[in-house]
Chain A
Amino acid sequence: MSLIDLANPTRFLALSARVLPWLAAATAILFAIGLYLSALAPDDYQQGATVKIMFIHVPNAWLSMFVWGVMSIASLGTLVWRHPLADVAAKAAAPIGAAFTFLALLTGSLWGRPMWGTYWEWDARLTSVLILFLMYLGLMALWRAVEDPSRAARAAAVLTLVGALNLPIIKFSVDWWNTLHQPASVMRMGGSTLDKSFLIPLLVMAVAFTLLFVTLHLAAMRNEILRRRVRSLQMMQASRVAFSGDVSTGSRQENASTGAA
């Protein structure tokens, strides 16, 4: 099966039904391994045991940006190629991305209190991630506000691509401005500065969260395709009712005129 075949929603539904159980199982196994390695990780010499928050904070922070990246590519698919599944993919990803961003903010705040002495600081990194979270909520509101999915898709695609400008700001905010947040320590020129005892659990948890996103995204896309089918069938039902109403009104008028004659 080629990628072109997946453009057909019916084929996508069949493929997702086959793949989802395996993805869910792989995600659960990776989470079990990741949590086990996180529990075994030693305390940091400065941060103590709070370093364990990193194993969920960092994957969620990565995914908050990754999901918006996926939505941006899907938005290009909507605007440029008009791919039938593109806006389905973008719409399905938004609530999942919002949840990851919320977790990044929440766990970051819980990590910040013991390390920085504050839950929140209006610095560049924290503020730009908060803006990302608000953009996710805005997109979800837009999709709900516009009833016609194709009109909503185009407006949401433009908003998503404009919002993608925030991604490099988030990534480089720690280099461009003075912030409380530490600079990049894993994805940086010259390699990671993290010790293997922290890096390995972190990477396993990152892969586990990424697989969780892929699993939930496929399932949410499947739901969105079904929702659109429900909508089109309901419209067919409504037009049938309206047509049968017209026919019966017309036949009554015809009977009335025949009777009068």
Chain B
Amino acid sequence: MMSLGPYAPFIVTSYVAAAVVVVLLIGWIVLDHRNQTERLRELERSGISRRSGRSATGTP
């Protein structure tokens, strides 16, 4: 078992904070992608499409 000594709260808080910020960042980017993709699909369903005629989401 790894011993962190008397300063364990500082070390653990640092690692937990880093994990929380990274997870929040990933979650925000994933949710934003879902949100933008859904808005594009709604616009395409309502008959609005790009002049190039390709799907605006850029995915097959």
Contacts and interface: CB of A to CB of B under 8 A. Distances in A.
Contact of A223 (B7, B22, B32, B46): B32
Q: How many A residues are at the interface, by size bracket?
A: 35 or more
B60 to A, nearest CB: 9
Interface of B: 2-8, 10-11, 13-15, 17-18, 21-22, 24-26, 28-30, 32-33, 36-37, 39-40, 43-44, 46, 48-50, 52, 54, 56-59
A91 interface: no
Nearest to A217: B29
A101 to B, nearest CB: 11
A14 B33 CA distance: 15
Contacts of B2: 39
B17 to A, nearest CB: 6
Interface of A: 9-10, 13-14, 17, 39, 43, 48-50, 52-53, 56-57, 60, 95-96, 99, 102-103, 106-107, 110-111, 113-114, 212, 216, 219-220, 222-223, 225-227, 229-230, 232-234, 236-237, 240
Contacts, number: 106
